[in-house]
Each structure stands twice: as structure tokens, then as C-alpha cells.
Amino acid sequence: MKVKLQPKNQKIKSVLEFKGDKSIAHRTLIIGALAKGKYKISNFPDSMDCLSTLNCMRKLGVDIDYRGSDILVSSPGYENFNTSLCMLDAGNSGTTARLMCGLLAGCNIDAVIDGDYSLRKRPMGRIIKPLSQMGAQISSENNMIPLSIKKSSHLIGINYEMPVDSAQVKSSILIAGFLAHGHTTILEKNFTRDHTEKMFKALGADIEIVNKSISIKKSNIKAKDMYIPGDISSAAFLIAAVLLSKDSSIRINNILLNKRRRKYLDILLLMGADIEYKITDIYNGEEIGYIQANSSSLKGISISKEIIPNIIDEIPMLAVLAAFSSGKTVFEGIQELKYKESNRIEAVAENFKAAGLCLSYTEEHMEIIGDNKFLEKEIHIKSFGDHRIALAFAAMAVRNRDMTTVDNWECTNISFTDSLKYFSEFLNITTC
């Protein structure tokens, strides 16, 4: 399906809320179900990625009653999961594939993890190596999925220095480490998302965090009700749309404001955005609050490689915003963008060329010369089947007085099923 987008050219004053954060949602099912017992998950998103995790956990024997945005979970506990499975389908979700691999290896379960065409191109050697060091028996061709996991003796905890900045890899090792004999300690080069650590701590696990070192061991945990705050990664696109608009504002309530996820907002503030956010509550260790964003004139900045792991999903959107800023914006250390649902470096570059925007790049560096202007040309955007590329350039359409067409819009269902409802605040939308 293609969508055709044109700006409404009217002032926007809206109050919004979003479905639950995708990263946390995966973990409410995978980590939450390690304990035997019943619990409720509130504000669970209906994105395809999260439903892939939900279906995998059902195959393990977890009873999940999905009632709209609420889920009732009854888990037999990790000791009583189904131990012989045929195949688990992770769909397009790298989080599902990598975290489930740590779970299956730690629970000593026979299974094959597979996924769609896009997921089959994403690197899995980064989890195979540490899990194998712990004693897991994992086989694959070319370090890609499908991954075959065979029953083995119990895993043994390891000390592991992360060669790449990846919350998914870290989480896979921590889940396996919780199920292993002895301590597992991970040392990060740069801080990455810490939802796994926060959830283990909220459930009562024996986990210790000192700066960039995280240690975990098997311990008693209890099932616990969980509320998932609104997805700040989905909100990022609407925040960008209002920044690019004229004389408009939005307020977003009950949104995730985790310190390592709000780096996107902090970068926008450095760019001169008229944004305010405030933490109003903390639930299971996760900070929640509101964001107020208003139309803004932005300026270019330099973004160092140390920050990249905490804005990895927002870089396409930040690149678009940089194109309509005054001056030069530089992104350093962006090589992980090659290993997402698409090669996002090349996807951004090709769509910038189609829009007549200025960008130069290497595998590790991207430089954008911005111009605070409006476009006036018909633009055809290739999504490359990547939800974040499609959504980022949909937000760009606010600055194009002519028609912007985005192909393969259905890929946005991976993370943001009702995105068109939100974008309709800013854009006239037709589908074909």
C-alpha cells in the first residue's frame, strides 16, 4: 500500500497518548513470565513485533489472554516451559529472536528460531558467541537465522566485554545469565537501553549495576503486574512533525521518559527545539511523564558516537530534522544502522536524493547540510520495508507543499499500527 501525503497548512493544538513502548512490551512477556504466577500487563501495543514475542511465549506454555490493550498472563515458570518445540517465528523482530535465544538456551529447550526475509539478513553471531561460551549449543548458517538450539548441560555464567553497543545482545546474555550457574557479568563500552536491567530489578532478581558493568545470577523472582508507558520511539515522529510545522503544538501524556530513551529529546533541545518534558511518576523503575513540543527553528549540531546507542532508532528522524535546520549536523559512529530492518544509512541517503536534500556519508559518519525551507516538488519515498524510514519521511511531508508518496506503508505495522491516525493531525492522507 502507498500513502500520499500533503500538509494541511493549519495550526495544530493536540493532546496525545500512545500505546505501550515496544522495547518494554517484549520484556514484560519474556522476563515477566520467568516467574511462576499470574500477572496483568496494561497498555500492551498491538505491533507485529510484539505479537511475535507473544506467540513465541504461548508456544512455551505461557497462557496469555489478550484483551484489547490489557493482557492477563499465567506462567508455569521457566522450570516448566515446554522443552521440545519445532519452530518459533520471530517475524521481523530482532528483539524477539535475540532475547528468545537467550531464554531458550538458558532453559535448555530444543527449538529453531526463524523469521521473515528481512530478519534473515540481520547478524546473529553477536549472540551466538557469548551464549556458546556459556555452554549453549547453537547452530546456524553464516551466523544468521534460522538458529537451531539444542538441549545441553546447564549454562555457566561468564564475564563478557561487549564488542558492539547493543541492548538486544546485552539482554540476551542477561536472560541466559539469570538462568545459568554462577555470576554473569557484562561490561559495556557505551551505555545502551536498560529496560532489561530495570525489569529484572523490579521482579526482585539479584542484579547489580555499577556504571557500565552489570552482574546477574539466578535468584528468586515474583510475578508482578506491569504498566507499559507510551512508546517514545513512536512519539518521536509526531514530535518531529510539530517541530516542522508552523504555529502548532502537541502535548503527549503518559509517555516513557527513561533516561536512555529521552536522549532524542535532549538532542532536540540542543538543536534549539521548543520542547519541555517532565517526569511525573516512576513505575517498575521506568520514568513516565509528559512532553510539550511546539513549532521550532532548529540548528545543526554534532552528535558523538557515545550517544548513538541510545538514539539508534531515531537517527532517520533526526536526519530529516537536520535537513530543515540551519547549518551542519554530523552523526558519528553510525555503523549499526546497517544492521536494522534495512541498511538505514543507504535508505536515508537515497530518499534524501529523491527529495533534493544534502547528505554525505561513510559507513561510520553522516553529514547533513540543512536549510530551513519548504520543499515544492513531488517526492517518491522508498520505505525499503523499514517502518522507521517510512515514518521519518512521512513526518518530512509536513515541509513539502507538493505531494509526498511513501511506498509499502504496511511495514509501519511492525511498530506503529495506527500511525496514520496520528499523522492525520498534520497531513491530508490518501491510500492506494
3 state DSSP class of 369: strand
162 vs 185: CA distance, rounded Å: 10
Which CATH number does the domain 22-227 belong to among 3.65.10.10, 3.40.50.300, 3.90.950.20, 3.40.50.10320? 3.65.10.10
Beta-carbon contacts of 173 under 8 Å, excluding residues fewer than 6 positions away, are 102, 127, 130, 131, 134, 160, 184, 186
> Residues of the chain with pLDDT > 70: what percent?
100
Asked whether this chain's domains 3-19+229-431 and 22-227 adopt the same fold, the reply is yes
The Cβ-side half-sphere exposure at 34, using a 13 Å CA radius, reads 31
Which tens digit of pLDDT belongs to each residue from 355-366?
999 999 998 999
Which tens digit of pLDDT belongs to each residue from 127-184?
999 999 999 999 998 999 999 999 887 899 999 999 999 999 999 999 999 999 999 9
What counts of helices (H) and strands (E) characterise the chain? 12, 24
Query: What is the band of 348 on the pLDDT scale with cuts at 50, 70, 90?
Result: very high
Is residue 313 among the annotated active site residues?
yes
Which tens digit of pLDDT belongs to each residue from 69-100?
999 999 999 999 998 777 999 999 999 999 99
242 vs 275: CA distance, rounded Å: 10
CATH 3.65.10.10 fits 3-19+229-431, yes or no: yes
The pLDDT score that the predictor gives to residue 67 is 85
Query: What is the band of 388 on the pLDDT scale with cuts at 50, 70, 90?
Result: very high
Q: Is the peptide bond before 316 cis (omega within 30 degrees of 0)?
A: no
Which tens digit of pLDDT belongs to each residue from 334-344?
999 999 999 99
Query: What is the band of 9 on the pLDDT scale with cuts at 50, 70, 90?
Result: confident
The pLDDT score that the predictor gives to residue 309 is 94
Residue of 281, 313, 371, 386 marked active site: 313
Q: Which three cell numbers stand for residue 252?
A: 503527549
The pLDDT score that the predictor gives to residue 84 is 78
pTM of the entire structure? Answer: 0.96
Which tens digit of pLDDT belongs to each residue from 212-257?
999 999 999 999 999 999 999 999 999 999 999 999 999 999 999 9
Query: Taking 80 as the threshold, does the pLDDT of residue 14 lie above it?
Result: yes
CB 206, CB 216: distance < 8 Å: yes
CA 232-271-385 angle, 5° bins? 45
Q: What's the first-to-final CA gap in the chain, in angstroms?
A: 6
Residue extents of the structural domains in the chain: 3-19+229-431, 22-227
